Structures are given as structure tokens and as C-alpha cells.
């Protein structure tokens, strides 16, 4: 199994609470000792030099020509250090899978998985029935605070602006497509569409700028800075990520963490508008300018 093909979006994953695209130093040091112990086990029939040269194939680099014990220990630390650099993360994962499938018994794999758990590594090895490998990688599910925020906001807005709530539901769908990088931009686009829908619904215009101006003139929508934030984030995202709308040939880069931040920020505004709407409606059936909600 090629790790990068199996987890094409691993670089966009957060390293909290689990390490999803980097190897922490403590885990690297633990693996150093683990691999040394593997080389001492006669039943596994793999020498320290063979382990080092297997790493060399994945880095890739020249194999070691050393034979002395102390020299090989130095090489083990050096080669493992290179393999666990963040840029080589996918190569490290392929190496671990390869050596586990070809040389480790169940006991060693269990010990390796315990090591991963001890140092909050986001993946563990599981047995599979593939002809090419005994094991495959499985990742721990990352807790996703965005999902909870989205579900709450859907409930708040659905009786005020159905179109806005439908866009939020689409965010949930797009964020679940973790193997498709474009889905993150689609999720952000839907967040903006949700904001646009409820702002225009409440402000009474087809353009978000006009609707915000209308809400500010009404004077009952609280802190003007919050209303200004609608336009600020709307313009910022459209300027920085021009391909957020389909049909634009620009290829902007946005990480999963950035999408989560923007989505949660936008949902905070949508939630505010929904709650403020409910407050206004509890005071009167009409806006001060006479436009019915």
C-alpha cells in the first residue's frame, strides 16, 4: 500500500490531538530503541544493517557500508532521523508498513502500535488480507468540532432561512469528503453562500453589501462591527481564494485548518444573525422600517 495514495490529503490534517503528518521526536527516539531490539531477535532474521539499508531505499540515499556495532547505531539514528523529517512522512509510513509486513510477527506489531499510542501518533497497523501486504494503515478519527457547530447552526437557522440551512448541510457533506481536496473549497463556498442567503433574507436585497447596509440603517442588529465583519470576511475570502467559485482557473492553496477556521467564523456570524432575528421578533412582528420578516 502506498501511503500517499491511500491518504492523499494527509498533509492537510491537524496534528492535534494526534500526529497526522509528522513524527514527534519522542516517537522517533522510541522507534530507535524498538528497531535496535528487533535486530537482536534471532527469530525475526533481520540485522541492524539490513534495517538501516531498508530505510535507505525509502529515503532514498546511499546504503551504509559500515559493519561495526557502534557505527551502525550511529547510522540507525541518522537514517531514522532523515526518514522522520516531515517532508518524508509518507516514506516513513511506507517503510514501517514494509518492514512490518515482511519481518514482524504479531507480537512486534502489537508492540509497535502501543508505541504509536503512547506518543499520540494518529495511525496504527491493522491486519489485512491483501496479497501484497500483511498489514495496512488505519487512522484514528479526529474529533471535529466543526460538525457540532454546523449541526447547531442548522437548527438555529432552518426556520428563518431554509436556503441558508441547506447550504450548511452541504458544508457537512463536503467536509466529510476527506480524500478530495476540492471538497474543502466547496465547503467554504457553501459557508459563504449560507451567510449570503440569510443576510439577504434579513436585509431585503439581492446583494450582500446592500443587505448589510440595510441592516445597519435599521439600527436594531446590535454591534455594527459584527455586521461589518460580514463584508470583511466575504471580500477577504473571495480575494484570497478566487477559485472558491467554480469556473475560476486560479489554483489557490488552503489547508484543512484554515477551512475549519473560516467555516466556524462564518457560522458564528450566521448564528448571531439567527439569534438576533429571534430577539427582534420577540419584541415586534416588524422591523422598524416596516419590512416584515
Contact 214, 203 (CB under 8 A): yes
Of 156-165, 206-215, 242-251, 269-278, which range is least confident?
242-251
Shared domain check, 133 and 153: no
Interval 150-160 mean pLDDT: 89
| pLDDT digits 0-9 by tens, 23-56 | 999 999 999 999 999 999 999 999 999 999 999 9
Strands 135-139 and 123-127: antiparallel
* Residue 246 covered by a domain: yes
* Residue 292 covered by a domain: no
Shared domain check, 198 and 122: no
Distance between CA atoms of 95 and 141, rounded to whole angstroms? 23
What are the φ/ψ torsions at residue 23 (nearest 5 degrees)? -105, 115
Residue 288, pLDDT score: 46
Quote the number of domains for the chain.
Answer: 2
The residue out of 97, 118, 139 marking a domain boundary is 139
The residue out of 139, 161, 187 marking a domain boundary is 139
Interval 264-276 mean pLDDT: 95
| pLDDT digits 0-9 by tens, 67-105 | 999 999 999 999 999 999 999 999 999 999 999 999 999
Shared domain check, 56 and 9: yes
The residue out of 139, 172, 204 marking a domain boundary is 139
CA distances from 47 to 40, 53, 223 (A): 8, 10, 69
Of 44-58, 196-210, 233-247, which range is least confident?
233-247
- What does the buried/exposed string (b/e) look like for 218-229 if buried means 16 or more CB atoms within 10 Å of the residue's CB? beebeeeeebeb
Query: The domain containing residue 203 runs over which residues?
Result: 145-283
Shared domain check, 265 and 155: yes
* Residue 57 covered by a domain: yes
Shared domain check, 83 and 19: yes
Query: Which among 277, 32, 177 has a CA at the least distance from the CA of 285?
Result: 277
Shared domain check, 278 and 153: yes
| The three three-digit cell numbers of residue 159, written as one number | 426556520
Amino acid at each position: 500500500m502506498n501511503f500517499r495514495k491511500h491518504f492523499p490529503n494527509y498533509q492537510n490534517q491537524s496534528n492535534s490531538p494526534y500526529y497526522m503528518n509528522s513524527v514527534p521526536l519522542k516517537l522517533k527516539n522510541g522507534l530507535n530503541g524498538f528497531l535496535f531490539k528487533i535486530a537482536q531477535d534471532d527469530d525475526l532474521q533481520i540485522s541492524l544493517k539490513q534495517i538501516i539499508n531498508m530505510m535507505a531505499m525509502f529515503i532514498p540515499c546511499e546504503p551504509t557500508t559500515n559493519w561495526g556495532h557502534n557505527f551502525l547505531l550511529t547510522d540507525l539514528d541518522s537514517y531514522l532521523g532523515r526518514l522522520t523529517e516531515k517532508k518524508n512522512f509518507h516514506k516513513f509510513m511506507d517503510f514501517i508498513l514494509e518492514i512490518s509486513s515482511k519481518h514482524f510477527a504479531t507480537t512486534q506489531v502489537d508492540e509497535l502500535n502501543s508505541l504509536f499510542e503512547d506518543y499520540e501518533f494518529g495511525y496504527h497497523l491493522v491486519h489485512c488480507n491483501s496479497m501484497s501486504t500483511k498489514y495496512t494503515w488505519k487512522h484514528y478519527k479526529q474529533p471535529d468540532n466543526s460538525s457540532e457547530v454546523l449541526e447547531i447552526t442548522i437548527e438555529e437557522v432552518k426556520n428563518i432561512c431554509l436556503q441558508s440551512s441547506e447550504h450548511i448541510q452541504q458544508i457537512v457533506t463536503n467536509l466529510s469528503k476527506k480524500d478530495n481536496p476540492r471538497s474543502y473549497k466547496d465547503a467554504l463556498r457553501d459557508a459563504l453562500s449560507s451567510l449570503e442567503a440569510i443576510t439577504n433574507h434579513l436585509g431585503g436585497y439581492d446583494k450582500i453589501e446592500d443587505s448589510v447596509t440595510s441592516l445597519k440603517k435599521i439600527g436594531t442588529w446590535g454591534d455594527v462591527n459584527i455586521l461589518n465583519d460580514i463584508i470583511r470576511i466575504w471580500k477577504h475570502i473571495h480575494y484570497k481564494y478566487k477559485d472558491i467559485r467554480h469556473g475560476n482557473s486560479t489554483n489557490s492553496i488552503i489547508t484543512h485548518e484554515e477551512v475549519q477556521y473560516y467555516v466556524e467564523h462564518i457560522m458564528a456570524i450566521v448564528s448571531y444573525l439567527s439569534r438576533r432575528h429571534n430577539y427582534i421578533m420577540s419584541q415586534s412582528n416588524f422591523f422598524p422600517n416596516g419590512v416584515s420578516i
